[in-house]
Every structure is written in structure tokens, then in C-alpha cells.
Structure 1
Amino acid sequence: MPPRESAINPLPPLILALFALTMGIEILFQLGSRGIVGGPQAIGWRQAALLDYGFQGTFPSFMIETGQLRPEFLMRFLSYPFVNGSFSQAIFAGVMLLALGKFVGEIMASFSVFLLYVLSTIGGALAMWALGGEGDWLFGGFPPVYGLIGGYTYLIWVRLGQIGAQQLHAFRLIAVLAALQLIFGLLFGFAQDWPADLGGFVTGLIVAPVLVPGGFRALLARLRRPD
């Protein structure tokens, strides 16, 4: 008798690890703000972390102007998603991370989903630098989540094309999810980080074709194909 397939596909382990890290940091902030751990100085842990690990356009601008590659500045391209501005932001971004990570992980390998997350994180920071104000802070886990949405949109676009359906319908998903985040932001408050969300989504959409199984080989075949 063949083994029964599980009705619930497991989450990519690396996505679970990212979620656990993000929520672990948030739990520390919550415990510190209530004086349960860390003593009186723990009340300022969140604010200190935002300043130490958040992203701002002034950091890459400084490196370009001075010709200095500062590790503490480069780190911010990857560290900002793990420091959220509030508990509600951390929870909402975390739930979306798990949901989108599972959807994309049904097609992509676990490491490919992780790489999609990392590249979208960097893409979100670059977009914030290019389109946002230099003094605007970027923090929170939404830009890489939007990168996963970009990857999922591509997968749906391909699937719709295979069955002959209207492929533009794939982009309805990003519209719905963006509307949900907008409502959440209006109710609970959010940073003006729309360039980073856009950058994360576009990055995910662009790199997903290479990260799907056989995608890199397909890209090489297209490049080698004579005109």
C-alpha cells in the first residue's frame, strides 16, 4: 500500500526559522517593556534596536560619497525585517510570512524560498533608498513578505497560462493583499515604507523565474537560443 500523502504541506524550515527569530525578538521587546526581563533599561530596547538595525537611505549614500564599505551599514540591508515597530505589525507580518512561505514552498525548494526572502529584503531596502526620503526609516517584515507575494504571483501566472486562463488574474492576489495591509495600517498605524513594499514585490517577481525548479536551466537555454 503506497504511503498516504499529508493533506498539509510542511512549511519550509528556513521560513519557520525566520518567523521564530522575528517573534522571539518581539517577545523580548514585550517582556522588556513590561519590566519582566532586562531591568529598567529594557523599556527602550525596541527604540534602540530600530536605530541600530533599521534601514535609512543616509547609510548607503554615506558609503557611496565616502567610498567606505561599512559592515554595520551593509548589515542594515538585511536586519531591518527582524525589528518591528509594534506587536501588531510583527504578528501580521509573521502570519503573512508563514502563509506565503507555505504557498511558494509548495513549488520551490526550501533554500530557494529563503533566497527569495533574502533578495526581496535587499530589493526593498534599495527601493526605499531610491524612492523614499533619505531620512525615512525602514523597519518591519513586510518588504520580504511582498517579495514572497511576487514569487507566488509568478507561480500563479505560469499556472494560469498552462490551463489557458487569463494570466492577469494572478495580479488580483497582490491587489487583495495590499488592500488588507492598507486597512491594517489605517487601523493600527504603519510606517511610510511603500517604496520598500513595492521593491520587495518587484524583486520577488523578477527572481522567481530563476528560483523555480529548472528555472535557471530554462534561462540559460533562452540565452543560448539563436535569434
Structure 2
Amino acid sequence: MSDPDYTPPESLVNPVPPVVVLLFIAVIGVEGVFSLAKAGLIGGPASVGWRLGALQDYGFFPAFLDFMVQTRTAPPGGLLRFVSYPFVHGSFQQAVIAGVMMLALGKFVGEAMRAIPLLVLFVVTSAVGALIFGLVAPAQEPLYGAFPPTYGFIGAYSYMLWIYLRRVGERQIAAFRLIGLLMAIQLLFGLFLDTGTSWVAELAAFVTGFSLAPLLLPGGLARLRHKLQRG
């Protein structure tokens, strides 16, 4: 059976998939609460610490992974952090940039992927990004923000572009230009600023998104069953 056909969208005004819109609203909505609190418009004096409290309660820390491995337990609060950290950001600017990127990439991926697979892509790439981050980052370094699942969308989009380029006889390496550019920017910033280890989560999410795309695109499970039966 052949891979799914994919042609890059000719129009940028096609509707964004509702699940992506809901994820974007969640990201911006949480940030809106923190921004209003910082401006003193809601919550009173105690609201100044809401962002820091949310980062501590819903951000991901490698220390929690270490604890779960050492104690061989999986407390719900610890598991929640694998998928809750994308909704908490360190600043308004980070939330807007991550949210807009997620909206744009989610739109492109959503042109070929249904709602439930899109949500699975978001959740799994978030979790895998946190897992790999937890294995290599310092115990108290936090992971937060929607960039890892956004890189997961980039991975899925790169796979679809890779298939399209193969179908039209173009060089498939071009499918990786976007991730290459983003990683180069990360490296450039890392030379001048302490950007931490979050790039590990983003790269892991990209690889996961690229690997999951063949299964999550329409007909993916049927192709897998066919290959297993032939094998």
C-alpha cells in the first residue's frame, strides 16, 4: 500500500482544526490570567506569585522523574506534569510565540490529520519530550512552554513534506530545512545566552512527531497491519 498523498496547502486561509484552536486558546488563556494578575487587574496582591506557583505545580522537573524511578511509583501529580507543562510559560512573549507557532504548524498538519490523531500527537510528543529532557537535564531545571509539542507538529509536517517531495521527485532532504533552521537559531542563541537544556525536549518531540506521523495520518494503522502481515 502506498503512503498517503500530501500536497502543501495552496491557501493560508483554510480553517484551523478546532482541536488546535482549543489548544491555542488554552495556552493564551492561561497566559492571559498571569498577565492580568501581573498588571494588578485580578487576584489582588497574592496574584503576583501565580505564574511562579503554576511553574512549580505544573512545570516538569527531572527530579520528579528521578523520584518515580527510584520509588517505582507513578503518582498522578507527577504524570500530569508530562502533559501540563506546555500550558505554562515564563513570559507573555514566550506564550505568544509558542502559541502562534503551534497554531500555524497545527493548521498545516491538520490539513491531513483528523482531530483525535492531532490530539494524540500533541500529548505524546509533549510526554516524550519531557521524558528525554528528564533523563539528561539537571534535576532542578524546569521544562515549561508549548515549544516541545510545537516541534512535534513540525516533525509530523516534515514527514508529510518528505512524502510529497518523494512523490514529485524532489530532494527529500529539503523536508528538514525548517527543523535545521530552528536548531541553528537555538545554537546561535546558546552561544550568547544560557538557553538551558530545553532544546533536548524540542528535538525529541520533533523526532517523535516525525515517527508517529505515518501511524496517525489516515490509513496509517491499516498500512502497519499490512506490513506486519507481509512480514
* TM score, norm. by length of structure 1: 0.91
Q: Does 1:172 align with 2:165?
A: no
Cross-structure match for 1:43: 48
Q: 2:33 aligns with which of 2, 16, 28?
A: 28
Structure 2: runs of 5+ lacking an equivalent: 1-10
> What's the CA shift string for 1:62-120, capped at 9, x where partnerless?
11211222111110000000000011100000010010001101111122112111111
Cross-structure match for 2:201: 196
> What's the CA shift string for 1:105-161, capped at 9, x where partnerless?
111112211211111100110110122222211001100000000000000000111
Q: Which amino acid in 1 is paired with 2:87? A: F
Cross-structure match for 1:3: none
**Bigger relative CO (Cα 8 Å, ≥ 6 apart):** 2
Question: Would the aligned equivalents of 2:161 and 2:175 in 1 still touch at CA under 8 Å?
Answer: yes
Between the aligned residues of both structures, percent identity stands at: 47
Question: Would the aligned equivalents of 1:50 and 1:139 in 2 still touch at CA under 8 Å?
Answer: yes
Distance 2:146 2:158 in 1: 19
Q: Which amino acid in 2 is paired with 1:61? A: D
Cross-structure match for 2:16: 11
- Which portions of structure 1, spanning 4 or more consecutive aligned residues, are displaced by more than 6 angstroms? 182-189
Question: Would the aligned equivalents of 1:127 and 1:196 in 2 still touch at CA under 8 Å?
Answer: yes
Q: Does 1:114 align with 2:122?
A: no
The alignment covers a number of residue pairs equal to 221
Q: CA deviation at 1:177?
A: 3.4
Structure 1: runs of 5+ lacking an equivalent: 1-5
RMSD: 2.0
Cross-structure match for 1:207: 212
Which 10-residue stretch deviates more, 173-182 or 106-115? 173-182
**Tell me, what secondary structure is at the counterpart of 1:176?**
helix
Q: CA deviation at 1:48?
A: 0.5
Q: CA deviation at 1:29?
A: 0.4
Q: How does 1:85-164 map to 2 (within 5 A)?
A: 85-164=90-169
* TM score, norm. by length of structure 2: 0.89
